[in-house]
Amino acid sequence: MIASSRNSLNFKTIVSKIFYLCFIMARLIEFDEEQAIQKAMEVFWKKGYAATSMRDLTDAMQINSSSLYNTIGDKHRLFVRCIKHYIKMRIDAVEQRYISFASPIQALESFIKDAADIITTEPNSCLCVKATFEIEGDDPEIQAIITSYDNFTHRFLKDLVEKAQSQHQIGQNENADTVADYLVSTFIGWYNSFILHQDRNKILNMADFIIRQLRC
């Protein structure tokens, strides 16, 4: 079981934290937690959960394991933080890029091409996809977090599909939910294809193909 032995903050720790905040100032935490999470995320992203050791993590984060356990918690708590950090990065990027767009169909096309580009240029595949296949039902907490990210992407795409349909930019016969599901599924398949074949053109051709299909 991946999801075992998660000792989060206990009562004693919480009480001492409150005391710390209200009355007494002692030694301050030296390391930058955000930065450390970023480093840990990169390790998990490359190696996966089980294949990453605590030594790998503390080496990358440049902190001692006692500091890690004092602030963030055990390996699983850290993984949760890293997954959340990764998702926040991704959502922020999407929301920044798609604040406004000329038309829904153009936004859809951009999104598809962006996906193809990310998949064929980043050094690793998607941390969430890797985690999903690694845990596969054995870690409800991680799965719930990833599912909610999946839902975000789904809503985003479904919304664009509906708008494009109502503006007669794409066919109106298909169910927007299904089209959104199908787009998300395809992107995930692209990760797999690119790992196996390292063939950027394969992915770009599929992106063009999907865009053509959407238009009719």
Spatial distance between the Cα atoms of 147 and 135, rounded to a whole number of angstroms: 13
Q: Which of the ranges 28-36, 91-99, 114-122, 202-210 carries the binding residues for DNA, by CB under 7 A?
A: 28-36
User: Does residue number 133 form part of the binding site for DNA (CB under 7 A)?
Assistant: no
Binding stretches for its own copies (CB under 8 A): 2, 48, 50-51, 124-125, 129-130, 132-134, 136-137, 143, 146-147, 150, 174-175, 177-179, 181-182, 184-193, 195-197, 202, 205-206, 209-210, 212-213, 216
List binders of DNA among 55-114 (CB under 7 A).
55-56, 63-67, 69-71, 74-76
**Helices first, then strands: H and E counts in the chain:** 10, 0
Q: Which of 185, 86, 78 is nearest to 127 (CA)?
A: 86
Spatial distance between the Cα atoms of 190 and 194, rounded to a whole number of angstroms: 6
User: Does residue number 16 form part of the binding site for DNA (CB under 7 A)?
Assistant: yes
Number of neighbouring beta carbons within 10 Å of residue 201: 9
110: exposed, middle or buried (C-beta count within 10 Å: 0-12, 13-18, 19+)? middle
Contact between 158 and 176 (Cβ < 8 Å): yes
Taking the complex as a whole, the smallest distance from the CB of residue 82 to its own copies amounts, in Å, to: 16
Q: Which of the ranges 23-31, 109-117, 127-135, 179-187 carries the binding residues for DNA, by CB under 7 A?
A: 23-31
Taking the complex as a whole, the smallest distance from the CB of residue 35 to its own copies amounts, in Å, to: 25
Query: Which residue number, 14 or 93, has a Cβ lying nearer to DNA?
Result: 14
Number of neighbouring beta carbons within 10 Å of residue 144: 10
Residues engaged in binding DNA (CB under 7 A):
5, 7, 16-17, 19-20, 24-31, 52-56, 63-67, 69-71, 74-76
